[in-house]
Amino acid sequence: MTRQALCVALAALVLFLLGAQGASVVGFDSRFVLFAKEMLRHGPGFFPTTYGEPYPDYPGASTFLIYLASLPLGRVNLFSAWLPTALASAASVGLTYRLVAPLSRQWALLSVAMLLLTATFLSETRAVSVDLQVAALGMLAFFFAMRAERYPPRGLLARLLPLLLAGFVLRGPLGLVVPAGMACSPLLLDRRWRCLLVFSLGALLLLAGCGVLLLALARLTGGEPFAWEVLRMQVTGRLDGSAGASDALYYFRGSLGNYALAFPLAVPAVALLWRRKSDPASRLVVACVLAALVVMVGLSVPQAKKARYILAMAPLAAIVATYPFYVGDRRLAVFLRRLIQALWLVLPLLVLLGVWLGWRRYPQVLQALGWRVWLCVGGLVVLQLFSLSRLFQRDRRAELIALGAVLALWGGYLLVVEPAERRLYDSREFSLAVDAAVAGAPAPLVLYGMGRDARAIKFMVNLDRDMQPLFAGSPEQLAASAGPYYLMLDEQRAAQLRAAYPALEAPLLCGRFDNDRYCLLRVSNPSMFGSVR
């Protein structure tokens, strides 16, 4: 990277890690933090573990990165959990700037701003996201492929194949396929047939070899049944839809919202390539369009689809969306420039409106945030006035309005949205109370109606010790469990059980857990659940 690109990446890294502290974990992060906690307690392995058993959906490398970041602290917290993702996101930002800056510094800065204003990129950056780490590898592979003329064929392969290997180590087959597709696009565009053929064969051989090694490590870790589960979770389940299915146009339709503002604005910007002479800028845009299509079309083949799988497309869409700022006075380019600047101009006002709607929907939650809300509101007003003041000045107008939009969106997210979400979906306080009750008078803990890989994970991630809870989903299973034991369940199910079985004792604890009301009961005589209701 150049010095400017490195400065942009470092500034982005600071932004991505602002306020990353504490031990309260919500949402999808719970799974990865639990992986890292168990790795800290038991040591690294080829696969992460939950409940002391290997987990088949991910290789252990992404958890190992969190483990390394947590070692100096002696524990896992938000900072150590988010650090690998934040570094990958910052690398993507720096590479986005580096790709465009030789053509236009303004275009490069606006591409970075558009990337930072992309919805899924923002939410995944402030989380544990293996897909963002793969996206960074994909951007680096794309960068090398765009500069293929500078390297001999062997030198290009020496740069690309290790990136594919790193992607597989992080994410399995999906982590290799995405960077490979992004690297193929510039080679195809430049008609480097020999390089494309050799690279494609190398990628296929690497995929086959890594797949065999992955299954061998799975057999070594958990035996033949676990190896089949790894194959199902990482390959066949995604292809045949048994791990969830969406229609073939999911990515193209869903990206209009999931990857706004970049993707919806990139679609009309592609028309600017019509009848445009070949030059380095149009070559970059065509390569970005082709690489994004390869990612989106390629990942549309498997039945299982999730918005985060195509995160590698976000920087490419940001570059294409801001292409009108490079093109001259063509009518469409002028219209798109004005549209983009208008959206950036009103974004502080839109975020302010969102805060107001949030206050009406969750008044108690936002009131509890105190000074954060008022700081956010004041900052948004200042940013809106700042953007309006730049409107009639031609010098750096687009860059400054974009800066105001970025600060407004990220400020609203960091000061209001993220803290409110943590208050709504917090599970730590109740989990620690349950753990203290169980430790005070030891007995087995039964989690009732809680999925082993769903809400139960959100309970386990808050514990600082190993626990093997039992799982039940019906009164018959409760009757079959040896008592006495503790029973954790939501209040609605508890009320139903107490109505059906009056001998059931009153709850020992009640509290909020993952935006719901949960309680803890002690069951001394499980045979009551076998009686006629």
Mean pLDDT, all residues of the chain: 94
- CA atoms of 150 and 145, how far apart (whole Å): 10
Coil, helix or strand at residue 197: helix
Pairing of strands 53-54, 49-50: antiparallel
Pairing of strands 470-472, 517-523: unpaired
Task: Evaluate if pTM is beyond 0.85.
Answer: yes
* pLDDT for residue 532 is more than 60: no
pLDDT digits (tens, 9 = 90+) for 423-460: 999 999 999 999 999 999 999 999 999 989 889 999 99
To 10 degrees, what angle do helices 313-321 and 78-100 make?
Answer: 40
The neighbouring-strand residues paired with 519 are: 489, 510
The pLDDT, as a whole number, for residue 529 is 86
* pLDDT for residue 531 is more than 70: no
pLDDT digits (tens, 9 = 90+) for 208-229: 999 999 999 999 999 999 999 9
pLDDT exceeding 70 applies to what percent of the chain? 99
- Cβ burial of 202 (10 Å; 0-12, 13-18, 19+) is middle
* pLDDT for residue 49 is more than 90: yes
Q: Domain ranges in the chain?
A: 3-327, 333-424, 428-530
CA 367-368-370 angle, 5° bins: 75
pLDDT digits (tens, 9 = 90+) for 173-188: 999 999 999 999 999 9
The pLDDT, as a whole number, for residue 277 is 75
* pLDDT for residue 533 is more than 60: no
Cα-to-chain-centroid distance, residue 456? 21
- CA atoms of 312 and 95, how far apart (whole Å): 12
